[in-house]
Amino acid sequence: LAAAYTGGAVVGITDPLLSRIITAASTAIQSWLNRTIASTDYTEVRDGQNMPQMVLKNYPVTAVQTLTVQGLPIQPRPPYGPDVTSANFGGYVFDANRIMLSGYRFPRGFQNVIVQYTAGYATTPADVEQACIDIIGDWFKYRERIGLSSMGIDGQSVSFDRFLNGQMPNRAQMILKQYKRVAPMTP
């Protein structure tokens, strides 16, 4: 967009205040989510727990480049089909949240699993983008009412939205909750 409508005037993207608010809102969202939304490459060094699957820290997982267990490279499992035999059954598969082994487990050990993978969204989901726009709009208009929670003129009153945790509108937080990482990940 070349410009954004702010309720009273069209402001160019080069407007320094608006640029600063866009950057601050984007940073605040990712900090609050405790994760990165954009597709990014990751390397995780993890402890094996003697389980056949492992939940990865970042999601949605879109590709796995390498998997090394106890220093040995593990190959992707071939798809099931008429050519699959017990000799070529082993390997890994993955879904949006985890990597799974076929034929064996991640053996118990300290930092004995290394996974290199890609996770995140190629394009920002529309609802996350809208939440960011809501935050930007509220922060931009807030400069006109800093410190006010309500205002009255000629017998009429206006109340302003109270932010959860002081940084974003409730409606934006409700949208963003579904993308928030809530469980700490251990190595």
What does the pLDDT read at residue 165? Answer: 47
Position 3 confidence tier, pLDDT thresholds 50, 70, 90 = very low
What does the pLDDT read at residue 82? Answer: 64
What does the pLDDT read at residue 145? Answer: 62
3-state SS of the chain is: CCEEECCCCEEECCCHHHHHHHHHHHHHHHHHHCCCCECEEEEEEECCCCECEEECCCCCEEEEEEEEECCEEECECCCCCCCCCHHHCCEEEECCCEEEEECCCECCCCCCEEEEEEECECCCCHHHHHHHHHHHHHHHHHCCCCCCCEEEECCEEEECCCCECCCECHHHHHHHHHHCCCCCCCC
Q: What is the pLDDT of residues 145-174, one digit of tens each?
A: 655 566 677 777 666 555 544 567 888 888
What does the pLDDT read at residue 85? Answer: 56
Q: What is the pLDDT of residues 19-77, one digit of tens each?
A: 888 888 888 898 989 999 999 999 999 999 999 999 999 999 999 999 999 999 999 98
What does the pLDDT read at residue 182? Answer: 77
User: Cα–Cα distance between 186 and 87 in angstroms, integer?
Assistant: 33
Please give the residue that has the higher pLDDT: either 6 or 18. Answer: 18
Cα distances from 104 to residues 54, 70, 89, 187, in angstroms, run 13, 13, 10, 20
What does the pLDDT read at residue 94? Answer: 96
Q: Diameter of the chain by CA atoms?
A: 83
Q: What is the pLDDT of residues 74-123, one digit of tens each?
A: 999 887 766 655 555 789 999 999 999 988 899 999 999 999 999 999 99
Q: Amino acid identity of 30?
A: Q
What does the pLDDT read at residue 21? Answer: 85
Specify burial of residue 135 (Cβ count, 10 A radius: 0-12, 13-18, 19+): buried
What does the pLDDT read at residue 156? Answer: 75
pTM tops 0.75, yes or no: no
